[in-house]
Amino acid sequence: MVRTYTMFFLFVLLISCEHQKKETAVLNVHASVAHNLPIAERHEFNAEITPRYLTSLSFRVSGLVVERLVENGFTVKKGDTIALLDTVDFQTAVKNAQSQVVAAEFDANQAKSDDVRLSQLKAKGVASIAESERQRTRFDVAHARLLTAQAALIQAQNNLVYSRLVAPFDGVIINLQMEVGRNVRANQSVADFYDPKVMELRADIPETLLSNLSSWTAKMSLWSHPGKVYPVTLRELMPWASEKIKTYQAKYNIAPLSFPLWQGMNAKLILTKMSKAHYLSLPAFALVHQRGQIGVWGIKGDSLFFIPVRVKRYDLNQALVTGVNDGALIVTSGSQKLNPLSKIHITMITP
């Protein structure tokens, strides 16, 4: 029995020594001096390349489409033919108008000759004043008919020209809405047209960024040119939100590029600026949990104390926090093994 009690006493003593050894073990840690600094805030939004100006193409006369020389996506030069209407009726109208002009010119010349002759007879007292005035009136009417016929000829000739749809400037054809064999009305939109050198970036912006959107530095990246960014400037912000997602469309001018942009190209709008608030950047593993709070271990002399923090940003490698005063010495490596009673040895201090 005495031997049993002796063995139990020795076992308790051994456990006590081991526990005391663990409590008094010195743990190696790395520490750093806290420096709160502004950070580069960043937002990215899906965006799309769209034309700054979209021109609707249409014939100025009605008619039957007999030839279409373009497809969607075709690039054309100013003056290139896009489509043709049947010109039989327009050519007939020109010939009729020409005949009307010839007839009107004959009548006007005859009336002028008669007017001159009666004026001479009136001067000799052979013709009456009334007869001379009636002839002057016939001349005025004939001359007016000639002007009308000439105007009709010009209009008929223009209509013949208008039967050919041409590109108003260098650009790209999209949204074709005409087919050969179909009739089109005058001024009916048959295609859209845009200049690929004048494009813009459109993106949907959340309400939280509206008040100071112009203060952000804006750039864009293109899926077709990975790893590169290009400057853009805010041109217009729509004053109303979209019905479905409640965001506001922003339009950005794009600086001249060495390559063309096409409608519908996928892009990203990148907004950056330096924050007004200051944050402490530290390794993510420096954060610890104590009594339901997130914080870091502060060092004062030989003692540890817990500093609660608010996390601004967190990933697997780095955390941005507030709540630590500038100049405070904090544990940045070995934090997870510590408690308020731990004894530490600082192996390295990052100033």
**Domain stop point among 135, 159, 190:** 190
The predicted pLDDT at position 124 comes to 58
Mapped onto helix, strand or coil, the DSSP state of residue 139 is helix
Q: Collect all residues with Cβ–Cβ distance below 8 Å to 307 and sequence separation of at least 6.
A: 295, 296, 297, 298, 323, 324, 328, 330
Whether 157 and 235 share a structural domain: no
Whether 226 and 112 share a structural domain: no
Residue 111 confidence class, pLDDT cut points 50, 70, 90? confident
Indicate the pairing of strand 318-322 with strand 266-283. Answer: antiparallel
Highest mean pLDDT: which of 10-19, 217-226, 333-342? 217-226
12 belongs to a structural domain = no
Whether 78 and 154 share a structural domain: yes
Whether 217 and 165 share a structural domain: no
Whether 248 and 317 share a structural domain: no
Whether 61 and 128 share a structural domain: yes
Query: Considering its fold, how many domains does the chain have in total?
Result: 3
4 belongs to a structural domain = no
Mean pLDDT of 253-263: 91
The predicted pLDDT at position 5 comes to 37
95 belongs to a structural domain = yes
Mean pLDDT of 99-122: 75
Identify the CA nearest to 176 among candidates 52, 70, 55.
Answer: 70
**Domain stop point among 276, 296, 329:** 276
Give the residue with greater pLDDT, 248 vs 139.
248
Identify the CA nearest to 69 among candidates 57, 84, 58.
Answer: 84
> What's 253's domain CATH number?
2.40.30.170
The predicted pLDDT at position 294 comes to 94
Identify the CA nearest to 220 among candidates 274, 261, 267.
Answer: 267
Identify the CA nearest to 47 among candidates 219, 209, 294.
Answer: 219
Calculate what percentage of the chain has a pLDDT beyond 70: 86
15 belongs to a structural domain = no
Whether 222 and 153 share a structural domain: no
Decide: residue 75, CB within 10 A, 0-12 exposed, 13-18 middle, 19+ buried.
Answer: middle
Mean pLDDT of 62-77: 95
7 belongs to a structural domain = no
DSSP string, 310-338: EEEEE-SSEEEEE---TT-EEEEESGGG-
Whether 239 and 287 share a structural domain: no
The predicted pLDDT at position 314 comes to 87
Whether 168 and 225 share a structural domain: no
Whether 220 and 172 share a structural domain: no
The predicted pLDDT at position 83 comes to 97
18 belongs to a structural domain = no
The predicted pLDDT at position 118 comes to 59
Q: Which two tokens stand for residue 326?
A: 């500038």
> What's 178's domain CATH number?
2.40.50.100
Mapped onto helix, strand or coil, the DSSP state of residue 100 is helix
Whether 170 and 71 share a structural domain: yes
Residue 291's domain spans which residues?
A: 27-38+277-348
Residue range 18-51, pLDDT digits in tens: 444 445 588 888 999 999 999 888 999 999 999 9
Contact 213, 234 (CB under 8 A): yes
Residue 82 confidence class, pLDDT cut points 50, 70, 90? very high
Alpha-carbon span 115 to 109, nearest angstrom: 10
**Domain stop point among 276, 304, 333:** 276
> What's 285's domain CATH number?
2.40.420.20
Residue range 151-197, pLDDT digits in tens: 999 999 999 999 999 999 999 999 999 999 999 999 999 999 999 98
Identify the CA nearest to 151 among candidates 101, 200, 198, 117.
Answer: 101
Whether residue 122 is predicted with pLDDT greater than 70 in this model: the reply is no
Stated length of the chain: 351
19 belongs to a structural domain = no
| Strand ordering across the sheet containing 75-76 | 55-58, 189-194, 171-174, 75-76
Whether 93 and 179 share a structural domain: yes
Mapped onto helix, strand or coil, the DSSP state of residue 238 is coil
Alpha-carbon span 167 to 81, nearest angstrom: 7
252 belongs to a structural domain = yes
Alpha-carbon span 52 to 214, nearest angstrom: 19
Which region holds residue 147: left if phi is over 0, alpha if psi is between -120 and 50, else beta? alpha
Helices 88-124/129-162 angle, 10° precision: 160
